Amino acid sequence: MAADIKTRMERGKQVRAELFGTDDTVDWEAKNAEFDPEFAEFMLGHRWGNITARPGIDKKTRQLCAFTTFLTVGYLEENICDKHMRAALAVGATPQEIVEIILQTAMYAGLYKTKFRHRAMKTFKELGYTQGVDWGAPLPEDF
């Protein structure tokens, strides 16, 4: 039987705070509740407490999927790609995986998606990753 909405909302708060931090989650919840309390319940309870909290795939894979989706639909000028990229890194994704996703997405969703690479590199550097060590490793000799 499905959990009640309050249980799903609490689970959603935990999942969202793990990815984006407690302060961001409190702010996000307040903004959504101000718009419409039922919308906030739906987003926190269903999106975060049911869908994002599902055990079928690990958090890293789920965040890489979210990042890829937002990149594909073109949220390049919004902070949403940055936010989900940082969340993916926070739950175990590597800078090289982000690079590969940007390149792979560009092949299927348009080469202009690669312009996000500049913001990705800025974030990698802010987080202390090093080019040539954490991303950009040479290709195998037989490639």
> Which pLDDT does position 79 carry in this prediction?
85
> Which pLDDT does position 76 carry in this prediction?
75
> Which pLDDT does position 1 carry in this prediction?
47
pLDDT tens by residue, the chain, 143 residues: 467 888 999 999 999 999 999 999 889 888 988 888 888 888 889 999 999 999 999 999 999 999 999 999 888 777 889 999 999 999 999 999 999 999 999 888 888 778 888 889 999 999 999 888 898 866 666 65
Does pTM surpass 0.75? yes
Is residue 52 within 8 Å of residue 62, measured between CB atoms? yes
> Which pLDDT does position 138 carry in this prediction?
64
How far is Cα 70 from Cα 27, in angstroms, rounded to an integer?
A: 21
